[in-house]
Structure 1
Amino acid sequence: MTPRTPSSVALFAGGCMTLASLGFTAGAQAEGFVEDANFSLNLRNFYINRNFVDSDYPQSKGEEWTQSFILNFQSGYTPGPVGFGVDALGLLAVKLDGGGGTYGTGLLPVHGAPGDRHPPDDFARLAVAAKAKFSETEVRVGEWMVVLPILRSDDGRSLPQTFQGGMITSKEIKGLSLYGGQMRQNSPRDDGSMDDMFYGGASSDRFNLLRPVRPAGRWQHLLRRSAEGQRRQRLDARQRHQWRHPRQRLVQLRVRQRQRAFLAAAP
């Protein structure tokens, strides 16, 4: 584990000033850097209450409440054959409620020795990634939220998970996206440190990825339309079958009524 030494509030404030300075510097040097930039602030209020009914579990419940601030800055690219840019995430989570006996919901990190474990009052981190683009190929190095079919940041708690590494994205061929790179570490969703990646009890200091992603073409669209048509045909046939039984019963009932009337009228 690699801790981040600055305090959470100072780190978050420094991140805000960094984002602002990036915007002013970029505006003075390259118009494209700012014109295509995006900036957003997401406020997330998260409360979790878990009831542990197992008598062998060391605590009876887990209960925590946090308020998170997520600053997301994504710049455009500088003019020229090769454009340069930067993306930055300023993340801060503040504890509103949760004590030493109710930790473990995944909203806050846990500090202290066994028997005296408790969540901190807040935690934060700053994730910065540099990027360069030539034609339809982008190179990115640093720390950011990864959203890929085979690797995706977990955004289900106070702050989103971020990965640190490098990646190349190429869209030179129309209808085909190529991803390749290596991730070395990650910052979990409930901590401000930088750790090795782990899953299912195993951990690693690198994750290699090489993945082509081809969007649905016309043939896939036709297959979906064909499957949808077959589904509707089966549904229509089922409905016709359901309606056929009442009609048959009505015909049988009328035949029986006529038979009874004929027998009653017979001498």
Structure 2
Amino acid sequence: MSRKHANTLFLLSALALPTLAAAQGFIEDSSLNLLSRNVYWDHDGHKGAADKREWGQGFQLAYSSGYTRGTVGFGLEAHAYAAFKLDSQRDRADTGLLVPDSDGSSRGEASTAGAALKLRVSGTELKYGELRPYNPVLALADARLIPATATGFLLSSQDIPGIDLEAGHFTAARDFNRTHHDGGFRAAYAGVEGGDVDFIGASHSLRPNLGVTLYASRYEDLWRQYYLNGNYDIELDGGRGLNLDFNLYRSLDQGRALAGDIQVTAWSLAAAYRFGAHKLTLAHQRIHGDQPFDYLGLGGGGFHDSIYLANSSQYADFNGPNERSWRIRYDLDLSTLGVPGLSFMARYIRGSDIDGGTLRAGTPYAYYGDDEKHWERDIEARYVVQAGKAKDLTFHLRQATHRISGQSDVDVDQLRLIVSWPLRIL
């Protein structure tokens, strides 16, 4: 942890001490958790593409206080993250798993820390500091050794029955492969950086089994984005069920339009049928527009989770200009078959009709070709220890194969082995 981060945490703690002494609620509801995560990442390139392979160990320490008593409650959140290199070479680095060094290799160790103040009035909460927003228009991933963070304000409210409200304003970010906190946001596919990010959203339960979500966002000098989701659960006889999930995005260029003209509508519809230990899902996704459906990344080059379309997968997002794609997925939960904690997943996605021929010269999306096609196959296995001293220890194996007929991406086989162990200290 740098001296600057340590001084910040000390100052925030000192500011909170008077209320700590006056109100035990600040301490009573406090929690301190440690997550240990070990990740092996193997990215096997084909047709001349580089292989990337690294192994690391990460630790995530997170503290959250309770609130002081009274009409307005005050609290504090703080975190410290560390990543250690277990295996990496300069010629196969740059997986995004570890923090890069100036010579192109990965640093042997890296650490970062941050904090946020929070206040609560009834069911409304306001936070300011280093946060981890996760919603359809700004979702920071936690798929490597340490998660990404963003600096700004986050307001959430549940004061209206049946409605969850959220709004945010963020001015800076730190990617999962960086330690500094003054990085910017990035258009993931355009590769250009804009300014601040603002959003507002609401989720409403029309019925216990029917929900609707709406979000609107602005990424300064790049785009305005609108999101709609509808989710419907249908319970059937004999332990069977059906889920319908619809996602819709509309993106339009904004301000200086640093990524060029953007007029894209993207949608997906997924139907999942559950029967006993099994679940089968079919999904269709379409991109309407001469640009790809782009979404928020961070300045370190990482792709994040700000895309809730059904066919966004381990490697590819199937979001090219005018692309249409289909997915079939099978899930197996062996808990109901006598092996609690063990589950499997397999899916196959095929995309076609990618058309980059109408992209204007000079646009950052000009790497798309005409009539591109690609497919991806993902296989996952997951086991969570159910009891004993190693309770909640998780083993997660993820394998993806991607093949493309076109120029916008590469053929790749990707393997990830993740071992995580969450521990509650307080």
For normalisation by structure 1, the TM-score amounts to 0.71
Residue 83 (structure 1) aligned to one of 63, 73, 76? 73
* Secondary structure of 1:33's aligned partner: helix
Equivalent of 2:38 in 35, 39, 45 = 45
| Residue among 200, 204, 214 paired with 2:204 | 214
- Aligned residue for 1:193? 180
Asked if the contact 1:88/1:144 (under 8 Å) is kept, the reply is: no
Contact 2:20-2:68 within 8 A present in 1 as well: no
Tell me: CA distance 1:6–1:213, structure 2 relative to 1, closer, same or farther (3 Å): same
Partner of residue 25, structure 2: 32
Task: Assess, with a 3 A threshold, how the Cα gap between structure 1 residues 160 and 231 changes in structure 2: closer, same or farther.
Answer: closer
Can you list the C-alpha shifts for 1:143-186, whole angstroms capped at 9, x where unaligned?
Answer: 11112233211101111111111021121111111111211111
Which of these residues, 155, 161, 172, is aligned with residue 168 of structure 1? 155
**Residue 37 of structure 1 contacts residue 73 of structure 1 at CA under 8 Å; is this kept in 2?**
yes
Other-structure match for 1:6:
2
Distance 1:77 1:145 in 2: 20
Equivalenced residue count is: 215
CA distance in 2, matches of 1:178, 1:166: 14
Please point out which of 90, 94, 97 is paired with 1:100. Answer: 90
> Which residue in 2 is equivalent to 1:70?
60
String of CA shifts for 1:51-97, please: whole Å, max 9, x gaps. Answer: 22232x4x4x2121111110011111001111000111110101111
Q: Which has the higher strand share?
A: 2
Partners of 1:77 and 1:219 in 2: CA distance? 33
> Residue 177 of structure 1 corresponds to which residue in structure 2?
164
- Seen in structure 2, the aligned counterparts of structure 1 residues 176 and 118 have a Cα distance that, compared at 3 Å, is same
Higher RCO (Cα < 8 Å, 6 or more apart): 1
How many Å separate the matches in 1 of 2:23 and 2:37? 33
Per-residue deviation at 1:27? 4.8
- Contact 1:86/1:130 (CA < 8 Å) preserved in 2? yes
The 2-side partners of 1:218 and 1:39 are apart by 33
Amino acid at match of 2:88: G
Q: Distance in 2 between matches of 1:167 and 1:218?
A: 27
The amino acid that maps onto 1:77 is Y
TM-superposed CA distance for 1:139, in Å, is 1.0
The answer (yes or no) to whether the contact 1:43–1:68 under 8 Å persists in 2 is yes
> Once the two structures are superposed, what CA deviation does each residue of 1:161-218 show, in whole Å capped at 9, x if it has no partner?
1111102112111111111121111111111123111122232221110101113524
* Deviation of the 1:38 alpha carbon: 1.5
The one-letter amino acid paired with 1:73 is Y
Give 1:83's aligned amino acid: G
- CA distance in 2 between counterparts of 1:75 and 1:231 reads 39
Q: Distance in 1 between matches of 2:39 and 2:134?
A: 22
Contact 1:154-1:160 within 8 A present in 2 as well? yes
Percent of aligned pairs with the same amino acid = 26
What letter corresponds to residue 147 of structure 2 in structure 1?
A: P
Q: Does the CA contact (< 8 Å) of 1:89 and 1:144 recur in 2? A: no
For 1:180 and 1:32, how far apart are their aligned partners in 2? 26
Shift of 1:219: 6.8
Q: Distance in 1 between matches of 2:95 and 2:203?
A: 35
Name the residue aligned to 1:225: 234
- Distance in 1 (alpha carbons) for counterparts of 2:176 and 2:81: 11
**Contact 2:233/2:241 (CA < 8 Å) preserved in 1?**
no
Q: What is the CA distance between 1:28 and its match in structure 2?
A: 3.1
- Aligned-partner SS, 1:101: helix
Separation in 2, partners of 1:219, 1:131 = 32
Any idea what SS the aligned residue of 1:203 has?
coil
Cα contact 1:85–1:130 (8 A) shared by 2: yes
The 5 A counterparts of 1:247-262 are none
Distance apart, 1:220 and its partner CA: 2.6
Shift of 1:6: 2.8
Find the counterpart in structure 2 of residue 243 from structure 1.
Answer: none
CA distance in 1, matches of 2:241, 2:99: 49
Q: State the superposition RMSD in angstroms.
A: 3.1
Gaps of 5+ in 2: 212-231, 243-272, 274-426
